[in-house]
Amino acid sequence: MAEMDSLDLPTHRELLPIEGMHCASCVGRVEKALGKLPGVVGANVNLVAKEAVVTVTVDGPGFEELRRAVTQAGDFRVPEPTPGEDRALPDESAEARGYLGRFVVAAILTTILLVLHVKHFVPVVAISDLPDTGARWAELALAAAVLFLCGHSFFTAAAKRAVRFTADMNTLIAVGAGTAFVFGAVVLLFPRSFGDGTTLHFHSAAMIVTLILLGRFLEARARGKTSLAVRRLLEIAPERAFVVRDGTEVEIPVDDLVVGDLAVVRPGQKFPADGVVAGGGGSVDESMITGESLPVEKAPGDEVIGGTLSKNGVIRFTVTRVGAETALARIVKLVREAQGEKAPVQRLADRVASIFVPVVIVIATGTLLTWLLLGGELEASLIAAVSVMIIACPCALGLATPTAVMVGTGRAARMGILFRGAIALETAGRATTVVFDKTGTLTRGEPTLTDIAPLGEMAEDTLLLLAATAERYSEHPVAKAVIAAAGDRGLEPGEPRDFRAVEGHGVRAVVDGALVLAGNRKLLEDEGIDAGALADLAAPLAKAGKTTVLLAVDSKPAGVLAVSDTLKEGAAEAVASIRALGVDPVMITGDSKAAAAHMADALGIERCLAEVLPEKKLLEVRVLMDAGEKVVMVRSGINDAPALAAADVGMAIGTGTDVAIEAADVTLMSGDPRGVAVAMKISRRTLKTIRQNLFCAFFYNVLAIPLAAAGFLTPAIAAGAMAFSSVSVVTNSLRLRHVEL
């Protein structure tokens, strides 16, 4: 893989649909072929989704080069890209129907073959009147039809692998069933070379193919359910849109929408794209995107998300994002990429699968030779060897992890929780500490002015107007609360001069010729101002959990303003849920220790880090990690990006189309802090399911191969058991869709 040469170049991801993969060894072969291409930084192939997520550099290979590498790796096909290809998913239902049709035909032919095989025990069947020789030739013809008509794909795929000196599960099936068939044909053609009691085993060959086709059908049908969440996301967006053009409302395909269009949505209709409300209003159901069940009221200036449902009122909105840029399209892309990424727990399975088929062939050959050397008959020796090859197919091993990851990330997406990859999905469940930023995460992030306390004879409105003018260009939530309060009193802030924001401390500006300082005690003391009197005035306000703003005018203390933020609904419940998981909640904030302590007490958080400047949050996270903690950092939006990136898992929490879903390891679209615990529960249940699947897959082979080698299993039983193991792994993963969180 051309990783070292490409680390400094920007990269992007390509979704590559791949047909013809059947087992874990196919996955390894495709990944190896893609990884050899210059400019490919990484390639993760998903057996269940039948696609590869390929990370390439800007000067890396294009679609045709990637496609050529895949097709040259084996009997694989990469469909031609078509318009809307990025929205397409493999049609598992069509695959399932194909297997079902072949299974039905094979089952009918195999049933007739079995009747012929046991004809001496079924005298009432008319076909039993056939002479022995005629019945045997009929068995051969029926078995040939089952193997080479219904099961032709196994043999053609195995042949193509053999030409390339490789092998996969099709090789095991073809060699196993083919050996049983050839043995029967040889016995039929040269009966004198074998005893009269020798069984032809045409029925074994036919049953192997029939049962594996049944398993493939059940597996394909169940596998289709694993991608159900993504399919539902794809179905959210409407196909038509109503827009106003040249003063007339017209209906157009969604693909014809352009940024700047004025679109109209009526009750019961879905928004065709992202945009901003330009007129009208009403409630909108955003549950399909955010997981939030309660409708959200929309008014002019509010953002709307494509795919959400208007409940009432006619809304006109200006389109701001279309196509692949919409929040829904980005969500679908993120989920599909996450489902294609390999979890670290899968690495062992991949290493085993890469050598599994050759090892099984060696074991089967050893079984055959051992039986013969110990004096076993050729018939019994072949049965044992064929049983080993059939029962050891590594299907379950290849399905164990990706099915669980697909179902887990899919369920999370339906709840408005977006995992950026399987690594984040796995790591979140192992967290020992959750660090919450306070403002906007545990609180609403919209503080309001509650107190105005002038020092001396200055009027309240005068103090407020001075503060609002000084804070006019500040983006801090406290400044916005002060400015909003001035507006509510009919006060119009003036134009400050020499405005400067002092990070973590406040602002300084010249207002009407006077230097105004508005911030914390340190801001004033750094300017040589004695803030003792203001601190005494602010103390009871801070003790009540309010954030205080100390003001000085021309180096003289002037007064104190106090603002208060309110807890988000469910914030205390979120903290309690995290504690119930055995995880330690920590709050980090730039607020004063008194205000932070008051808020921590209300939330039930024992550990609170106060007066932490933005650049210090990264250090605090690293301190926790250096102490051996697995840290999840939760922050509203994507501020404090260094701290989010440094944590084992960074969670961004917010609402609307402004959420940068690609920026964090996990994104909670609803803005509800209770989603943190839900995300961790999904992670833990997914990991538990993966471990169960891998244990079953490994244990199955460890137990079954010796039994088959010892002659305790027939090829037909081995085929049924192999098919059952794959179906059981997929079915176990599907339980994640309904498990209680």
Instruction: Find tokens 């979890």 and name the residue.
Output: 343
Instruction: Give the number of other Cβ atoms within 10 Å of residue 285's Cβ.
Output: 17
**What secondary structure letter does DSSP report for 22?**
-
CB 620 within 8 A of CB 609: yes
Instruction: Give the number of other Cβ atoms within 10 Å of residue 212's Cβ.
Output: 28
Provide the 3-class DSSP secondary structure of residue 2: coil
- Which segments of the chain have a pLDDT < 70? 1-9, 24, 81-92, 119-133, 192-200, 229, 340, 347-351, 353-354, 614-615, 637-641, 654-663
**What secondary structure letter does DSSP report for 636?**
E
CB 250 within 8 A of CB 318: no
Pairwise CA distance, residues 382 & 167, whole Å: 20
Taking only Cα atoms into account, the Rg of the chain, rounded to an integer number of angstroms, comes to 34
Return the closest-CA partner of residue 396 out of 628, 148, 703, 665: 703
Per-residue pLDDT, 132: 62
Pairwise CA distance, residues 386 & 715, whole Å: 6
Per-residue pLDDT, 619: 86
Pairwise CA distance, residues 676 & 570, whole Å: 11
Pairwise CA distance, residues 169 & 361, whole Å: 11
Q: pTM of whole model > 0.85?
A: no
Pairwise CA distance, residues 225 & 219, whole Å: 10
**What secondary structure letter does DSSP report for 455?**
S
Please state the separation of Cα 398 from the chain's center in Å. 18
Kindly report, residue by residue over 65-113, the tens digit of the pLDDT: 999 898 888 778 888 765 444 445 556 677 788 889 999 999 999 998 8
Pairwise CA distance, residues 316 & 278, whole Å: 6
For residues 549, 551, 557, 558, the Cα torsion angle rounded to the nearest 10 degrees is -110
Per-residue pLDDT, 199: 64
Pairwise CA distance, residues 600 & 591, whole Å: 12
Sequence-ordered list of residues with C-beta below 8 angstroms from that of 332, at least 6 positions apart, any chain? 87, 230, 233, 234
For 546, the token pair is 């309010």
Q: Determine the length of the chain.
A: 741
Instruction: Mark 179-200 as b/e (b = at least 16 C-beta within 10 Å).
Output: bbbebbbebbeeeeebeeebeb
Pairwise CA distance, residues 659 & 328, whole Å: 12
Provide the 3-class DSSP secondary structure of residue 562: strand
- Beta bridge partners, 588, equal 437, 609
Pairwise CA distance, residues 84 & 366, whole Å: 51
Strand runs labelled E in 225-369: 240-245, 248-253, 262-265, 274-280, 282-285, 296-298, 303-304, 309-310, 315-321
Instruction: Give the number of other Cβ atoms within 10 Å of residue 354's Cβ.
Output: 17
Catalytic residues: 437
Per-residue pLDDT, 185: 85
Return the closest-CA partner of residue 156 out of 74, 213, 226, 237: 74
Pairwise CA distance, residues 70 & 91, whole Å: 20
∠ CA 542-545-550, rounded to 5°: 35
Strand order in the sheet with 296-298: 296-298, 282-285, 309-310
For 478, the token pair is 């406290």
Using DSSP bridges, classify how beta strands 584-588 and 556-564 pair: parallel, antiparallel or unpaired. Answer: unpaired
Instruction: Give the number of other Cβ atoms within 10 Å of residue 702's Cβ.
Output: 9
Pairwise CA distance, residues 452 & 6, whole Å: 58
Instruction: Give the number of other Cβ atoms within 10 Å of residue 172's Cβ.
Output: 28
Q: How many helices (H) and strands (E) does the chain have?
A: 24, 25
Pairwise CA distance, residues 194 & 186, whole Å: 9
